Structure 1
Amino acid sequence: MRTPIAALLIATVFGSGAIAQTTTTGAPAAPDAKTSQQSGGQQSVTRPNTDKVAPDGAAAGAHTNVTLEKGANSFTEGEVRSRLDKAGFKDAKDLKKDDAGIWRGTAMHGGKAVSVGLDFKGNVAAQ
């Protein structure tokens, strides 16, 4: 007699968890807010430029129109080197974080030494 009661109790406990985790998406709470489908959802999140970097060998001018933003930068020197390399800037040297939180240094691009920077969002720029 105890086994069916224990089985029923276990089924009730584990079965109700799925119901509690079900969510319903409705209209936004704010009257002037847009749904994620209208706002572009994940695409509207600010993303680093290095997600769409020019392939290796592209002109350094591809990164000259990028504005680096001030902010608390948590990138390590190794991460900065990796992102610069991914953006086509090789052999980064003299990397230092300035007072604005922007990593600055020099790197080789297309056989020429250029000044480079990386902000807290991961944006890469050649100056």
Structure 2
Amino acid sequence: MRALPLLFLALLASTAAGAAPEPAAPAVAPAERAHGAVGARLQPGANSFTEAQVRARLAAMGFSEIADLHLDGQGIWRGRAGHAGHTLAVGMDFRGEVAAE
């Protein structure tokens, strides 16, 4: 008779341990891993980056099909780029921080 409750507890413990979900590592897109923190608030200021440097930074962060780059009146490079199958508006400020939406 004593073996039955112990067997039940052992079965319950093994089921509970097997049912615990494993923590999943969040999927991080290449653009979010690279220096420049996509989504950072862009700061206006005197920008010394060239168009070629901006293209290279965006490409290194995983963006493709970079187009329509221009320096706006606040010193922020703005344009369009592809990422994960979507075309996004992108920007890069004088600090090299990148934002995409």
Cα–Cα, structure 1 residues 120 and 57, in superposed 2: closer, same or farther, change >3 Å? closer
1:54-107 Cα offsets, whole Å, 9 max, x none, are 65276xxx722x100000001110000000111111121000000000000000
Match of residue 16 from structure 2 = none
CA distance in structure 1 between the partners assigned to 2:31 and 2:59 by the alignment:
12
Please, what TM-score do these two structures have when normalized by structure 1?
0.51
Which structure is higher in helix share?
1
Match of residue 89 from structure 1 = 63
Cα–Cα, structure 1 residues 100 and 57, in superposed 2: closer, same or farther, change >3 Å? closer
Please, what TM-score do these two structures have when normalized by structure 2?
0.63
Unaligned runs of 5+ in 1: 1-53
Q: Which amino acid aligns with 1:63?
A: V
For 1:27-46, list aligned pairs within 5 A: none
RMSD over equivalenced CA pairs, Å: 1.8
How many pairs are equivalent?
A: 70
Which residue, out of 29, 34, 38, partners 1:63?
38
Which structure is higher in strand share?
2
Which residue, out of 55, 74, 90, partners 2:48?
74
Contact 1:71–1:119, Cα closer than 8 Å, also in 2:
yes
Match of residue 90 from structure 2 = 116
SS in 2 for 1:107: strand
SS in 2 for 1:104: strand
Bigger relative contact order, structure 1 or 2, given CA contacts below 8 A and separation 6+?
2
Unaligned runs of 5+ in 2: 1-27
